[in-house]
Structure 1
Amino acid sequence: MSKLRIGFVGVGGMGQMAHLSNYALLREECEIVALADPRVKLGQAVAQRYGVPQAFVSHEELLNGAKVDAIVAPQLYRTHYAIIPDIVRAGIPVFTEKPLSLTVEAGEQLVKLAEEHRVLHMVGYHKRSDPAMEYAHRRIEEWKATGEFGKLQYIRVTMPPGDWIGGADAPLASDDPYPQSPLEPGPSYLTDDQTRQLDTFVNYYIHQVNAIRYLLQEPYRITFGDRRGVLLTGESDSGVTVALETAPYQTTIEWHESLLVCFERGFVRVDLPPPLARQQAGKVTIMKDNGKEPPSYECPVMPNRSAMRQQAMNFIAAVQGLRPAPCESKEALEDLKLARDYILLMQNYK
């Protein structure tokens, strides 16, 4: 199968560290043939650093001037509504960072466009691509199918603020002025304060909202949120309890994100590395206790591959039709609905 020709729309800090640096090393699977960034000096420096033959200043110029099979567009999510429709209408599969958008309404329009044009729009919930998460997901589904360890009862995700960079090298920079792109406005039914709360929540915690559904493999709803914004809880369609501890404490030079999936007679736990840690997968711990023998523990060894690298591989495979994307826009829309419901629920304390 021939290599995919990849175009990049946006090569700022996250564009370089989380995405471009990983695609550039997948030389057997793809080649980066063009990039676009309104910061001319930065675009030229990045193109030279990664050997990208064409550099443009806008996504429109790239669409008109380069031949690409797919586009990676690591933009601010509040600019998706103004950029992504052009790419989808051009019929080009696209990857964007999380979340899909700020509001449910804008998200619905992006989902509708992707469906109308039959174009893949993969949303970058990279935690789904961590080898440890993929492994845990398979084991959880096996336990649910066999019933060997009882029913799935509880999922808890903890993500205190910490060092999410994890020692990653600094990206290339320039003295270009930061582009002033129009940002998606908040919904009419939220106040300015509520919109700020929504913006903060989807920026920091939408990954965990999505990860809960990935491990559950069914819808859930939010039922409680404390007034300090430390804990929210919910319940799935089948009655599984879920909890998200957003900021019970914070760390300065560590990262303590964990996911615990509890069955009646055992659990599967994943401890994730900092999001930008270089080629480091999470850790899986599996406990089994059938009540007849002493509890046993497994700690399978994961490959030296980061979630970001695996995510790039997953997007390429999805564009090629080899396997489904980990999360498409239609599913990502459900995260925005949960975030909206959470913000409205919190207003009960005002």
Structure 2
Amino acid sequence: MEKLKIGFVGVGGMGQMAHLSNYAVLSEQCEVVALAEVRPQMAQLVADRYGIPQVFSSHQDLLNGVKVDAIVAPQQYRSHHAIIPDIIRAGIPVFTEKPMSLTVETGEQLVQLAEEHRALHMVGYHKRSDPAMEHARKRIEEWKSSGEYGKLQYIRVTMPPGDWIGGADAPLTSDEPYPFIPMEPGPAYFSDEQTNQLDSFVNYYIHQVNAIRFLLQEPYRVTFADRGGFLLTGESESGVTVVLEMAPYQTTIEWNESLQVCFEKGYVRVDLPPPLARQQAGKVTIMKDNGKEPPSYEHPIMPNRSAMRQQAMNFIAAVQGVRPAPCESKEALEDLKLARDYIRMMQQYQ
């Protein structure tokens, strides 16, 4: 299978640390052949560092100037509406950061475009690609299928603020001012305060909203939102209760994100590393107590591969048709709907 020719649209801090640094070492699967960056000094610094042969000043120039098999566009999500439609209309598979937009309405437009142009739009929920999360999902599927450990009945996710950098090296920078890009406005039916709350929620916690569905393997809806913004509860179509604890406390030198999937006779728990930790997977704990055998704890060994590296591998595989993308735009739209409903419900108590 031939190497994919990949273009990058945006090579700021996250573009370098979370994405470009991972694609650059997957030299047997892909080659980064071009980048588009509105800051010329930054563009050349990054191109020189990673040996990228072609540099463009805009995504449109890249689309017109070079043939690529896929594009990685690690833009701030409120600028997606101004950039991503052009890539999709060109029929090029594209990867974007989470969420795919601020509002449901823009999300619906992006989904429609992807369907019309038959273009893959993978949304960067990297937690789905963590080897520990992939392992946990398979185990959950096995337990649901066998029924040996009873019904799936409860999912609890905790994500306090902490050191999300995890010791990662600083990205290349320049002192160039960042050109103005119009940000996606909030929903017409939200006040400025509600839009600010929505923006904060999707920026920090949309990963967990998505991860719950990934482990749950079915849709769910919001049933309660406290006015302080600490707790979201929900219920799935089959009646599973889900809980997301947001900022119950904070840490300065650790990252304490955990996801626990509870059956009647055991649980599957994942403890995740800082998002930018280098080549470190999460940890899985499996507790089993089916009443037939002595209770036990299992700690499967994960590979030394980060979620970001695995995510890059998953995007390449999806473009090549080897396996489906972990999360396409149509499913990511459900996260925006749930976020909208959460803000509405939280406002009821204020």
TM-score for the superposition, normalised by structure 1: 0.99
- 2:343 maps to 343
Q: In the TM superposition, what is the alpha-carbon distance from 1:104 to its structure 2 partner?
A: 0.1
CA distance in 2 between partners of 1:107 and 1:134 (Å): 26
Q: In the TM superposition, what is the alpha-carbon distance from 1:349 to its structure 2 partner?
A: 1.4
CA distance in 2 between partners of 1:261 and 1:13 (Å): 33
CA distance in 1 between partners of 2:180 and 2:280 (Å): 34
CA distance in 1 between partners of 2:292 and 2:6 (Å): 55
CA distance in 2 between partners of 1:197 and 1:265 (Å): 38
3-state SS in 2 of match to 1:238: coil
- Deviations along 1:197-250, one digit per CA (max 9) or x if unpaired, are 000000000000000000011000000011111111000000000000011000
Q: In the TM superposition, what is the alpha-carbon distance from 1:293 to its structure 2 partner?
A: 3.5
- 1:195 maps to 195
State yes or no: 1:299 paired with 2:333.
no
CA distance in 1 between partners of 2:23 and 2:345 (Å): 40
- 2:232 maps to 232
- 1:170 maps to 170
- 1:144 maps to 144
- Deviations along 1:240-299, one digit per CA (max 9) or x if unpaired, are 000000110000000000000000000000000000000000000000001243310100
Q: Which runs of 5+ in 2 are unaligned?
A: none
Q: In the TM superposition, what is the alpha-carbon distance from 1:138 to its structure 2 partner?
A: 0.2
Q: In the TM superposition, what is the alpha-carbon distance from 1:312 to its structure 2 partner?
A: 0.1
Q: How does 1:65-84 map to 2 (within 5 A)?
A: 65-84=65-84
- 1:134 maps to 134
- 1:244 maps to 244
Q: In terms of mean alpha carbon deviation, does 178-187 or 41-50 score higher?
A: 178-187
CA distance in 1 between partners of 2:83 and 2:104 (Å): 17
- 1:33 maps to 33
CA distance in 2 between partners of 1:290 and 1:10 (Å): 51
CA distance in 2 between partners of 1:291 and 1:247 (Å): 36
- Deviations along 1:102-153, one digit per CA (max 9) or x if unpaired, are 0000000000000000000000000000000000000000000000000000
Structure 2 letter corresponding to 1:106: T
Q: In terms of mean alpha carbon deviation, does 40-49 or 285-294 score higher?
A: 285-294
Q: Is the 8 A contact 2:6 2:31 kept in 1?
A: yes
CA distance in 1 between partners of 2:284 and 2:218 (Å): 22
Structure 2 letter corresponding to 1:262: C
- 2:119 maps to 119
Q: Is the 8 A contact 2:227 2:347 kept in 1?
A: no
Identity of aligned residues (%): 82
CA-atom RMSD in angstroms? 0.5
- 2:86 maps to 86
- 1:330 maps to 330
Q: How does 1:36-55 map to 2 (within 5 A)?
A: 36-55=36-55
- 2:105 maps to 105
Return structure 1 stretches of 4+ with deviation > 3 angstroms. none
- 1:265 maps to 265
Q: In the TM superposition, what is the alpha-carbon distance from 1:39 to its structure 2 partner?
A: 0.5
TM-score for the superposition, normalised by structure 2: 0.99
Structure 2 letter corresponding to 1:255: W
Q: In terms of mean alpha carbon deviation, does 223-232 or 114-123 score higher?
A: 223-232
Matched positions, count: 350
